[in-house]
Structure 1
Amino acid sequence: MTISDLMFPPAFIMILGALLIPLVRPGIRPLVLILVPLLTLLMIWNLDDGVLMTARFLGYEVELVEASNVRRLFATIFALMAMIGGLFAFQHARVVEMSASMAYAAGAVGVSFAGDLITLFLFWEFMALFSTVVVWCGGTEAARRAGIRYGIMHLIGGILLKIGIEGVAVQTGSIAIQPLMLDSFATWMMLIGVLINAAAPPVSAWLSDAYPEASPTGSVILSAFTTKTAVLTLLLLFPGQQVLIWVGLYMIFYGIIYALMENDMRRILAYSIVNQVGFMVVGVGIGTELALNGVAAHAFAHIIYKALLLMSAGAVIVQTGKRKCTDLGGLYRTMPVTTICGTIGALAISSFPYTSGFISKSMISQSAAYGDLAFVWYGLVAASAGVFLHAGIKFPWFVFFQKDSGLRPKDPSWNMQAAMIIFAVACVLLGVFPSLLYQFLPYEVSYVPYTAEHLVTQLQLLLFAGLAFFVTLPLMKRTLTISLDVDFFYRRVGPMIWRSFMHLLVVLNGLFQSLVVEKGKRLPQLWIRYHGPEGPLARTWPTGSMLLWVAVMLVVILIGARLL
């Protein structure tokens, strides 16, 4: 029997690992964190293409495992991220965070191989559950609140996705994962549900709200899975839908603008995630083979260099306890490993030649040029300069190289350094030898990144972006400001409206108490007063008096009837 004959999805190995982590001795946990993703990788790369496992569920034939090049590529980087993230985290993360992170990664691997919409949805919600736990493991009141908002937002996204899946199943009679047209309410609901997980504006604030409030190790894990599984789902379900081009462009410039205004280094990198996912969404919208290859390659490269950037930021937080750019600077003196690795990550996200970003992001912009999408190409090129401004220069400059903050922390523990070095080497290797990645892309690759034209254009772009940064450096210096986003409405205006509503209820309750309840308390007294033994209505009246009052009442009734 080969590995392909095993009757369980690869994600189950990581779910078992998540269950084992709390049960084993502390000295064994690092082995579990490393070996479980390695076993998952072994299974991933021994799966044949096609549907490999089915089962009956709710009357449907669900496909628990369907393998292909693009699915295998995403599952590979998810498993690698779980392994290197575990290496980075094990000395600092709590047991519940390590276990939840492994389960979260398992959900991403499950989504990667889901062959039908029901299986995809189940693993999708599995991810939402355990990623919320990872946010809560930040251990602060801010993390608790951010986790609640994060969970609510993903609950809404899951409901919309489920509505869409049910609609598609009713309309087509099929739950297969295949390209869909945006020609019905159901497919639009599915698209919106997926875009929420992709952090597409106007509901992208959940990412910059929640990720920075997680622990320094939790932020690294969170950066890899939710948005990239959304990209994979878009790639499988909505390739070539042009609305995604404009959604992606909006994401790109939204991320740049907010990252340039931000002071918190992890929020800078969180907005940068939105920006980078925007490039991938544009590629899905273009929908050509080159564009979809670029999406897959850029997702793979992005997970590595974004994790590397957040690892360097996390190392700084662990060693200094500070996260604001205004509190940092000059750390290159005593944190050389962290500085070098963070700088390599910054160069990679900026598409610097001979880094992974150079050989992946350019495939998307080139596909726009080949598709005669001049406006899109200009937007992507301009955005590349913006990425260099906020992530390529701003983050390392203010954290490591600007004014001396007086802080003298050392580099973090050996496991954190090892994780950063591994991903830094990966950024360079993929940039120098792009065929290492290109051979695993969904379509045959004829694209050559290292042409004289591409090198000169990119270097010119980076040079002028760098010059613009230092010329405007006085304006770029951050102060203790707060950037308002759409979440202002449900974090500030919403609670304000709720407090006003509760105050109104208190006022109305007071009126009810005074006008109704207090009056009601007097009714028994009035009843006794008039109907009690001594009350006027309980007395024995003389016949003459009674006749008089009957006559008066009769006159009143007759007058009233006459008037009406």
Structure 2
Amino acid sequence: LKGKWQKAYLLLLPTAAFISLLRMSTGVFWRIPFLEYELILGRVDKLSLVFAYIFVIAAFCMTLYALHVERSGEHVAAFSYVGSTLGVVFAGDLYTLTIFWEIMAISSIFLIGYRGTSSAYSAAFRYIMMHIFGGACLFGGVIIHVQTTGSIAFNAFYPEYWGLGIEYLPSYLIFIGLILNAAVPPLHAWLPDAYPEATATGGVFLSAFTTKSAVYALLRGFPGLEILIFLGVMMTIYGIIYALLENDARRILAYSIINQVGFMIAGIGIGTPLAICGVVAHAFCHILYKGLLWMSAGSVLYMTGKTKCTELGGLYKTMPLTCVFALVGAFSISAFPLTNGFTSKPMTIMAAAEANMGIIWLILMVASAGVFLHAGVKFPYFVFFAKDRGLRVSDPPINQLLGMGLTAFLCIFLGVYPQPLYNLLPYPVDFVAYTIPHVVGMLSLLGFSGLAFFMLLPLLKRTETISLDTDWFYRAGGGKFMWFCENPLPNFANRVDSSMKRIASSFSSFGSNPLRATRIALSTMMVRVLKTFVLEFWWRVYRYYERDLEAAKSRPMDEPIERVPLGIAVLLVLIFFIFYFIIYLIYGLI
């Protein structure tokens, strides 16, 4: 398909998927026998449905945004990526989960590589290497878990299969595989390394699916695991710090993903019904407003070819609609009233308070203020309102504006009327967003955050800098590892190969002419020993063995095998028996 028919078909796919979801009933479907197990491709419940809904809605908005892309391969990669994510969501067993998990990783690298730059290819390579490691951990954990328990069911590993001891190794491996995709530090550097190098539309898709599918899997497998609380709050602060240091607009948004997913990870660790609902609602809304921010950044990249804040500024004059949509996304991620961030993210913070986790509540509140600093103010300010750099470009094509407009509408709709979202959550929600204390408290927090940004603006001056992250270790270490593989390791392999060839040649020579081979070996040994300390009375012996060795080597090995006359052999045997008889008599008499 080409032209309008292709575009219509691309929009029809997520539309048909959404209609199918509306008609889908809860239960277990699509059972496939596999060896002595049963694969389940369709476990449908409230948790899987709410993630499936937002994934399909996001796919429609993002496909609308990407309709101008002429490369069919990029669309195929995007839909394979989305489809495999849906496979993860509906997977009812560990084998199905692993299969779709790997398809998701493989298909997503094309969204990076299609940009066609050397940095994109390098980032895609590092991306897939990290995900191969994560996939290996996941698959290894699944195999050991199945071998030890006999079950492939994808259910909660905590607390039944979690504790101290080697017997819990499968759960540890699965946990590592999941948190790597969730970009939990120090396993996070692939995200800010790869996502900014993707195509203008590829980055939009990447922002929505990989990390949120990991959030879903952690909700299934490890709800209530306390270590996730500490990992989550660390992510919220870590993402803020690096986002404030960044100069590249899309890297700011990449670190912002780590910050936002940190709220979700902490909520999973809290594990109460309110926290779980907060995680789901936050993930649902995050996909929308983060996708909107990536759309606006992608439009700027598409129209200007630039992403660094030092090269951007003043674009509100020539890209007014893109600027408005970016502001909607910025207000939403900052949890301004009347946006979906206000009706979702505070649920997790409130869950921490209700669980009597005062310190966690305080850190999450501070992190909320930090979100406004980097994503709510820094990103739109430096891209659209800072010093005019003389870039005179217009708003992007109409399909990009429609995609951003639809996503912005959903951000505001769920902020004004969140009940449709609350009805989808896995537990009944007793949460009222629009109370006077909540509204006033959030506005005060955001107001002071904005004031702090502009007071500290001289310190946040944009510079051409590189922020070192944990990817430095495998970048630097990777170079040394490649040098080791290209230099010392081949030399060692060549020496081992030569030694093996000499050993094989020696055995071959010995087999074809044992007597000759033995004589050469003895003569060689004597020559080497005598050569080290040749004294005058040893000189004749040394010359004898040297001449004998040269003569033995000069003769071809394939000549007839040398034989000793039978009489000599019999004489030697008799001499041996005589000596043995004499020794026997002596010891017998004693």
TM over 0.5: yes
Post-superposition shift, 1:59?
2.5
Q: Quick check: 1:223–1:307 contact (8 Å CA) kept in 2?
A: yes
Post-superposition shift, 1:44?
1.5
**Alignment partner of 1:403 is 2:397:** no
Question: What are the equivalent positions in structure 2 for 1:435-454 lying under 5 Å apart?
Answer: 435-454=419-438
Question: What are the equivalent positions in structure 2 for 1:153-232 lying under 5 Å apart?
Answer: 153-181=130-158, 182-183=162-163, 184-232=168-216
Q: Quick check: 1:45–1:72 contact (8 Å CA) kept in 2?
A: no
Letter matched to residue 120 of structure 2: A
Change (3 A) 1:148 1:465: same
**Alignment partner of 1:331 is 2:319:** no
**Alignment partner of 1:385 is 2:369:** yes
Q: Please, which of 428, 441, 463 is the counterpart of residue 457 of structure 1? A: 441
Q: Please, which of 495, 501, 511 is the counterpart of residue 479 of structure 2? A: 495
Write the deviation string for residues 348-395 of structure 1: whole angstroms up to 9, x where unpaired: 001111111111110000000000001100010000011100000000
Partner of residue 19, structure 1: none
Task: Please provide the CA RMSD for this pair.
Answer: 2.2
Letter matched to residue 367 of structure 2: A
Secondary structure of the residue aligned to 1:354 is: coil
Write the deviation string for residues 149-186 of structure 1: whole angstroms up to 9, x where unpaired: 11111111011011111222222221112111223111
Letter matched to residue 436 of structure 1: P
Q: Please, which of 284, 291, 294 is the counterpart of residue 307 of structure 1? A: 291
Secondary structure of the residue aligned to 2:234 is: helix
Q: Please, which of 49, 54, 58 is the counterpart of residue 31 of structure 2? A: 54
Letter matched to residue 268 of structure 2: V
CA distance in 2, matches of 1:337, 1:202: 38
CA distance in 1, matches of 2:206, 2:542: 84
**TM-score, length of structure 1 as denominator length:** 0.85
Question: What are the equivalent positions in structure 2 for 1:21-420 lying under 5 Å apart?
Answer: 24-92=1-69, 94-181=71-158, 182-183=162-163, 184-420=168-404
Partner of residue 538, structure 1: none
Post-superposition shift, 1:505?
6.6
CA distance in 2, matches of 1:550, 1:423: 96
Post-superposition shift, 1:46?
1.4
Post-superposition shift, 1:26?
2.8
CA distance in 2, matches of 1:30, 1:554: 90
Write the deviation string for residues 290-344 of structure 1: whole angstroms up to 9, x where unpaired: 0000011000100000110000001111111111000111111111110000001
Letter matched to residue 54 of structure 2: I
Question: What are the equivalent positions in structure 2 for 1:523-542 lying under 5 Å apart?
Answer: none
Post-superposition shift, 1:464?
0.7
Change (3 A) 1:211 1:549: same
**Alignment partner of 1:476 is 2:464:** no
Secondary structure of the residue aligned to 1:439 is: helix
CA distance in 2, matches of 1:482, 1:399: 19
Post-superposition shift, 1:468?
0.6
Q: Quick check: 1:136–1:144 contact (8 Å CA) kept in 2?
A: yes
Secondary structure of the residue aligned to 1:191 is: helix
Change (3 A) 1:499 1:369: same
Alignment length, in residue pairs? 499
Write the deviation string for residues 199-221 of structure 1: whole angstroms up to 9, x where unpaired: 11101010011111011010001
Secondary structure of the residue aligned to 1:409 is: coil
Post-superposition shift, 1:502?
4.2
Change (3 A) 1:435 1:509: closer
Post-superposition shift, 1:556?
11
Paired-residue identity, % = 48
Secondary structure of the residue aligned to 2:191 is: helix
Partner of residue 541, structure 2: 553
Secondary structure of the residue aligned to 1:216 is: coil
Post-superposition shift, 1:493?
3.7
Secondary structure of the residue aligned to 2:343 is: helix
Post-superposition shift, 1:137?
1.0
* Off by >4 Å, runs of 4+ in structure 1: 500-512, 548-551, 554-557
Letter matched to residue 440 of structure 2: V
CA distance in 2, matches of 1:353, 1:460: 12
Post-superposition shift, 1:50?
1.4
Write the deviation string for residues 374-421 of structure 1: whole angstroms up to 9, x where unpaired: 110001000001110000000000000111111121100000000000
Post-superposition shift, 1:500?
6.4
CA distance in 2, matches of 1:550, 1:238: 80
CA distance in 2, matches of 1:380, 1:471: 23
Which consecutive unaligned segments of at least 5 residues does structure 2 have? 497-535, 546-590
Write the deviation string for residues 450-486 of structure 1: whole angstroms up to 9, x where unpaired: 1111111111110111011000101111100000011
Letter matched to residue 233 of structure 2: L
Secondary structure of the residue aligned to 1:51 is: strand
Moved more, 327-336 or 174-183: 174-183
CA distance in 1, matches of 2:494, 2:135: 41
Asked which structure has the greater CA Rg, the reply is 2
Moved more, 93-102 or 381-390: 93-102
CA distance in 2, matches of 1:502, 1:54: 48
Q: Quick check: 1:268–1:390 contact (8 Å CA) kept in 2?
A: yes
Change (3 A) 1:511 1:40: closer
**TM-score, length of structure 2 as denominator length:** 0.82
Partner of residue 516, structure 1: none
Write the deviation string for residues 136-156 of structure 1: whole angstroms up to 9, x where unpaired: 111111111111111111111
Change (3 A) 1:556 1:434: same
CA distance in 2, matches of 1:120, 1:428: 34
CA distance in 2, matches of 1:169, 1:145: 36
Letter matched to residue 111 of structure 2: V
Partner of residue 543, structure 1: none
Post-superposition shift, 1:511?
12
Q: Quick check: 1:388–1:465 contact (8 Å CA) kept in 2?
A: yes
Q: Quick check: 1:265–1:395 contact (8 Å CA) kept in 2?
A: yes
Partner of residue 509, structure 2: none
Q: Quick check: 1:359–1:449 contact (8 Å CA) kept in 2?
A: yes
Q: Quick check: 1:93–1:217 contact (8 Å CA) kept in 2?
A: no
Letter matched to residue 313 of structure 1: A
